[in-house]
Structure 1
Amino acid sequence: MRINGITDIFFDLDHTLWDFDRNSALTFEKIFSLNKVSLDLEEFLFHYEPINLDYWKLYREDKVDKATLRYRRLSDSFDRLDYKVSDDLIKKLSIDYIAYLGTFNHLFEETLDILDYLYPNYRLHIITNGFSEVQYNKIKNSKIDHYFKTITDSEKVGVKKPHPNIFEFALDLAEASKDSSIMIGDNLEADVLGALNFGLDAICFNIKNENVGAEVKQIRNLLQLKNYL
């Protein structure tokens, strides 16, 4: 079903355009090697990935700060594996992770194709909850920066999705209106419901085929956006 009257499209970055899980795994492989951490990477990621998502939810809700998120997602994962590491090493790994994450820049398979398809007819933007110093490197190093008119990150705004102020800030920065804009992201709470509650239309990039509700517009791969736009 085509959505008429759209001029501006706002994308989430991680897990929507930028393949966070793949790039994160490569980053851990790199920093574990550099710091001589002898762990099975697959086993570590099995524990780390859900822990990381839990801490990001707490971060969105302002229940932990950035430093706590960065430290505890690692320390909790090592504790789960009963792998003994010093505080200094956890802090070093936390710093190295941020330093190297933007050097791996795999996009989802359809990212460039859908951006090429949308770019001639729409103004494209980013709204991200990620850290400023990392997100801009991801966008630049993956060579997609030229597609986007504006980039709004939560640290710049002072609030995180799903807070309405970040969507309002992004619209003002883009000089766009709610009625002519749409949000596309993978996170039901932060991207989709956050946008809808603000009065902005949204499409869920439901790559993990979760139950998001029949009333929510959803796609399973990015090229399915052609059904709407």
Structure 2
Amino acid sequence: MKIKGVTDIFFDLDHTLWDFDKNSALTFDKIFKLNNIDANLSEFLSCYQPINLKYWKLYREEKIDKASLRFGRLNDAFTAINFNIEKELINQLSEDYITYLSSFNHLFENTFEILKYLNTNYNLHIITNGFSEVQHKKLTKANINHYFKTVTNSETVGVKKPNPKIFKYALKVANVKVDQSVMIGDSYEADILGALNVGMDAIYFGSYSNVLAGKLKQVNNLIHLKKYL
């Protein structure tokens, strides 16, 4: 069923439009080679991905800062695979990761198609918890920046999703009322609950293996947003 009265759509970026896991894996492959790291990449990534999510949750909850996130997720992943590495090299890898991450720009299936479709009838925006110096590069290099009228970043606002302040800030910058807006994202906590808690409608983007309770709107392919919008 189509959502009525919507004029503005707010997207998350990482894991929603921009294929973070794929681009991150390619980045690690590159920086491991640059720094002569002979760790097993697939083994590292299998440990890193859940560790990274854990650290981002701590970061969202203001329990750690950016520097702790960047170092800790790498340090813990190397520890998990019993790979000995100097602290200085972890710091170098952390810097290289941020440097090269936006050089890979794989998007989820049908990203261009759905943005082109939605752009004809709605104002499109981004709300992201990602680091500001990286997110704008991702949008530009992936050639989707022109679709978005505003980009709201947690570092600019000073709080992260699901904090109500970032949603209210984004609505103010977009000059739109909450009941005319919808949030689309992959994080139930940050994107969906964050939006619903300020009165904004929301659509969860994720696998149906993670079907959420209740009547929550959900798609597992971006093109299926046409069902609602």
* TM-score using structure 1 length: 0.99
Q: Deviations over 1:83-138 (max 9, x none)?
A: 00000000000000000000000001110010011001000000000000000000
The answer for the alignment partner of 1:112 in structure 2 is 112
| TM-align CA RMSD | 0.7
Q: Distance in 1 between matches of 2:125 and 2:211?
A: 27
* 1:1-229 paired onto structure 2 within 5 Å: 1-207=1-207, 209-229=209-229
Q: What's the offset of the Cα at 1:214?
A: 2.7
Q: What's the offset of the Cα at 1:155?
A: 0.1
Query: Can you give the 5+ residue segments of structure 1 that lack an aligned partner in the other structure?
Result: none
Change (3 A) 1:182 1:138: same
Stretch deviating more after TM superposition (206-215 or 123-132)? 206-215
- Kept in 2, the 8 Å contact 1:186–1:207? The answer is no
Q: Distance in 1 between matches of 2:214 and 2:224?
A: 17
Q: What's the offset of the Cα at 1:208?
A: 6.2
Question: Quick one: which amino acid aligns to residue 65 of structure 1?
Answer: D
Secondary structure of the residue that 2:209 maps to in structure 1? coil
Secondary structure of the residue that 2:135 maps to in structure 1? helix
Question: Quick one: which amino acid aligns to residue 155 of structure 1?
Answer: E
Stretch deviating more after TM superposition (203-212 or 114-123)? 203-212
Q: Deviations over 1:120-171 (max 9, x none)?
A: 1000000000000000000011000000000000000000000000000000
Q: What's the offset of the Cα at 1:180?
A: 0.5
Q: Which runs of 4+ in 1 moved over 2 A?
A: none
Q: Distance in 1 between matches of 2:74 and 2:115?
A: 34
Q: What's the offset of the Cα at 1:209?
A: 2.8
Q: What's the offset of the Cα at 1:216?
A: 1.1
Report how many residues are paired: 229
Q: What's the offset of the Cα at 1:206?
A: 1.5
* TM-score using structure 2 length: 0.99
Q: Deviations over 1:21-69 (max 9, x none)?
A: 0000000000000000001111100000000000000000000100000
Secondary structure of the residue that 1:215 maps to in structure 2? coil
Q: Distance in 1 between matches of 2:207 and 2:187?
A: 10
